[in-house]
Amino acid sequence: MVRKTRDKFIEVARQLFARKGVENTTMNDIASASDKGRRTIYTYFKSKREIFNAVIESETDDLLDRLEEIVHKSISPQDKLYEYVECRFETMREIVKRNGTLRAGFFRDVRKVERARKLLSQRETELLGAILSEGQQKGIFDVDDIRRLSTVIVSALSGLDVPYISDSLADKGVDKTLLKDYISELIIYGIRKR
């Protein structure tokens, strides 16, 4: 019951933040839309910032769950990397699309972006490292430092989120599909054992 109520507050807050923006949503709005009293919401969250962070964490958990499924698939490490890149870009696009005005407020506050990315990047680096380790163990990849390379790849993918989501490279002849393919091939051919 406790978890269910907390999750309901998070989902209602996400919807309100997406529709009205974080700045224009109050704790009263969230409590009211959840059919709960204001006192109840403060049992779970001390502030709007705390519930906002819970919304971001919920969204990143969705992405991480999907990426973790790929890591555990019974496919080759190369195929895992292709799927990883595609899943990551597409899931980030879905998150941004689903969250409407939340993204505008979120991207205006660089500290919020960095806080969310830091949490996401740490776990992403571990997941990507698992794929690289598997490829190394199977003699497919040649990687000197898996942790460092994972960090660089995750940072590179993060840097391509906005161009991918906005499809801003299409006017240069690089659509979303081509971007995913180029990045996957760049990673795989760069680390493949020769």
Please state the rounded mean pLDDT for residues 66-81. Answer: 97
Domain that residue 154 falls in: 56-191
CATH no. for residue 112?
1.10.357.10
Say yes or no to pLDDT of 55 above 80.
yes
What span, in angstroms and rounded, lies between the C-alpha atoms of 66 and 16?
25
Query: pLDDT for 123-172, tens place per residue?
Result: 999 999 999 999 999 999 999 999 999 999 999 998 898 888 888 888 99
**Packing angle, helices 176-191 and 77-98, rounded to 10:** 140
Domains identified in the chain, total number: 1
Among residues of the chain, what percentage have pLDDT more than 90? 56
Top pLDDT among 38 and 113 is at 38
What span, in angstroms and rounded, lies between the C-alpha atoms of 164 and 175?
8
Residue 93 covered by a domain: yes
Query: pLDDT for 90-122, tens place per residue?
Result: 998 888 777 765 555 555 555 666 666 677 889
| Burial degree of 10 (CB within 10 A; 0-12, 13-18, 19+) | buried
- Residue 182: the pLDDT is 92
Overall residue count recorded for the chain in this entry: 194
